[in-house]
Amino acid sequence: MTPSEKEIERFRTLTQLPGIAAHEMRVRDYMKTQLSAYSDELVFDGLGSVFAVKRSKKAGAPKVMMSGHMDEVGFVIKQITPKGLLKFFPLGRTWEHVVMAQRVKVYSSLTGQAYPGAVASIPPHLLPEDSARRLLSLDQMLIDIGAESKQEVLDAGLRPGDMIVVDGPFVPLLGGKKLLSKAWDNRFGCALALDVLEAVAGEELDVDLYIGATVQEESGLRGAKTSGYMIEPEVSVVFESSAANDNMGDPEELGQQGKGVLLRYLDRTSITHRGLFMYATGLAERKKIPFQYFMALGGTDSGEIHTARSGCPSITVGVPSRYIHTNSSIMDYRDYVAARDFALAFLRSLDRERYEKEILSYSR
């Protein structure tokens, strides 16, 4: 099972667009264009989250929110040194082990120009033995774009606060089903939102669907809070690329690639509504969609959406991606297909009666 050429092109485009928290403009432009092809109504929150609206003809249809998030983990320029090197600050959770010596792209907010660079590293030949064994912290690292002075950097249009993303090309791996790239967290969710909307565009649903992507997830679930408040969903499905934990070969570890969609029951920011979780797992079993029970130490947009206004049953639906938050994360296309099958089955199965009897009844 491998992706089509159309899917490959969508994956390539989405993963290669730069967009850290509060700098999602290029990703949002793409999402607006694609969502507009299948919906006449787009809504935005004040931070930049974007959703297509597909309304049901059924009176009293439950309001369903489905969303990925546009931002990827990255950095901003913190300071420019007299030698023209860049000090930087992370936006999103980053591990020092995977930053050193990475290639990056630095984007000018003034001109839009991208400048290639590298996270500077000192060769071990130039370090005392005890220093060579110690890992530098992020605030000790610098980015080298080839400039020789602070003025040269300023003349290039770069300023503190400008965006830095890791350079991680999109590459299908051996066999074609595993896909290597930066930013699967969470351009997976963006791609899935577009695929789902396209699939149901010509159908009559028994729900009012709001589907799209939020902003600033990696910096604190900010877009989820504002869009959840705006939409006031009755049920939410969050699309998220989660951490796979299968590459050491232990089949008991959570997050196995190629084994199906992840249905998350617990993480640091939310406990999945029990009625919704039972409905989701029962649906996957009935439809014979491969799925995995999943919990995580991190959090997702569900953490804010499930407490929006008076509360909203919310579940995180994901794929297990290896090496997330690096320039070389890997997604398995088979899991993507399972996630898409689940999202479509969920939309096509839900109506007001099922929502109240099989989901909301657990809260009554």
Report the alpha-carbon distance of residue 42 to residue 210 in Å, rounded. Answer: 9
Q: 23 labelled as ligand-binding?
A: no
Whether the per-residue pLDDT at 137 is higher than 90: the answer is no
CATH of the domain at 151: 2.40.30.40
Beta bridge partners of 202: none
- Of the three residues 166, 195, 212, the one that is the final residue of a domain is 166
- Of the three residues 118, 134, 166, the one that is the final residue of a domain is 166
Within this chain, do residues 59 and 86 fall inside the same structural domain, yes or no?
no
Active site residues: 217
H or E stretch covering 351? none
Residue 136 in domain: yes
More confident residue, 130 or 223: 223
Work out the percent of the chain whose per-residue pLDDT is above 90: 90
Confidence of residue 121 (pLDDT cuts 50, 70, 90): confident
DSSP classification of residue 359: I
Residue 320 in domain: yes
**What are the φ and ψ backbone dihedral angles of 75, each rounded to 5 degrees?**
-145, 165
For the record, the structure tokens of 204 come out as 């009559």
Within this chain, do residues 143 and 192 fall inside the same structural domain, yes or no?
no
What pLDDT score was predicted for residue 128?
75
Q: CA of 364: how far to CAs of 178, 232, 313, 349, 358, in Å?
A: 43, 19, 13, 22, 11
Average pLDDT of span 286-311: 96
Q: 7 labelled as ligand-binding?
A: no
Whether the per-residue pLDDT at 123 is higher than 90: the answer is no
Asked which of 120-134, 140-154, 213-227, 239-253 is least confident by mean pLDDT, the reply is 120-134
Residue 196 in domain: yes
More confident residue, 127 or 312: 312
Within this chain, do residues 217 and 281 fall inside the same structural domain, yes or no?
yes
What number of residues does the chain have?
364
Within this chain, do residues 195 and 68 fall inside the same structural domain, yes or no?
yes
Residue 47 in domain: yes
Within this chain, do residues 91 and 209 fall inside the same structural domain, yes or no?
no
State the average pLDDT for the chain: 96
Within this chain, do residues 192 and 326 fall inside the same structural domain, yes or no?
yes
Confidence of residue 132 (pLDDT cuts 50, 70, 90): low
**Number of structural domains the chain divides into:** 2
What pLDDT score was predicted for residue 252?
83
CATH of the domain at 254: 3.40.630.10
**Tens of pLDDT along 177-194?**
999 999 999 999 999 999
Q: Quickly list DSSP for 286-338.
A: HTT--EEEEE-SS--THHHHTTSTT---EEEEEEEEBTTTSS-EEEEHHHHHH
Q: 240 labelled as ligand-binding?
A: yes
Within this chain, do residues 78 and 64 fall inside the same structural domain, yes or no?
no
Within this chain, do residues 161 and 190 fall inside the same structural domain, yes or no?
no
Asked which of 75-89, 118-132, 218-232 is least confident by mean pLDDT, the reply is 118-132
Residue 305 in domain: yes
Q: 97 labelled as ligand-binding?
A: no
Whether the per-residue pLDDT at 29 is higher than 70: the answer is yes
**Tens of pLDDT along 204-216?**
999 999 999 999 9
Confidence of residue 136 (pLDDT cuts 50, 70, 90): confident
For the record, the structure tokens of 168 come out as 């991680």
Within this chain, do residues 11 and 108 fall inside the same structural domain, yes or no?
no
Average pLDDT of span 167-173: 98
Whether the per-residue pLDDT at 126 is higher than 80: the answer is no
What pLDDT score was predicted for residue 248?
79
Average pLDDT of span 97-122: 94
State the residue for tokens 């997330």: 324
For the record, the structure tokens of 78 come out as 């913190």
Within this chain, do residues 12 and 105 fall inside the same structural domain, yes or no?
no
Q: 69 labelled as ligand-binding?
A: yes
CB count, 10 Å around CB of 236?
Answer: 28
What pLDDT score was predicted for residue 140?
87
Report the alpha-carbon distance of residue 186 to residue 213 in Å, rounded. Answer: 10
- Of the three residues 102, 137, 166, the one that is the final residue of a domain is 166
Report the alpha-carbon distance of residue 80 to residue 152 in Å, rounded. Answer: 10
Average pLDDT of span 286-310: 96
- Structural domain including 89 reads 74-166
What pLDDT score was predicted for residue 251?
83
Within this chain, do residues 123 and 27 fall inside the same structural domain, yes or no?
no
Q: CA of 356: how far to CAs of 205, 228, 350, 352, in Å?
A: 17, 20, 10, 6
Within this chain, do residues 156 and 209 fall inside the same structural domain, yes or no?
no
Confidence of residue 10 (pLDDT cuts 50, 70, 90): very high
Whether the per-residue pLDDT at 122 is higher than 80: the answer is no
Average pLDDT of span 127-141: 78
Residue 175 in domain: no
Whether the per-residue pLDDT at 341 is higher than 80: the answer is yes
Q: Quickly list DSSP for 72-129.
A: BSEEEEEEE-TTS-EEEEEES---GGGTTT-EEEEE-TTT--EEEEEE----GGGS-H
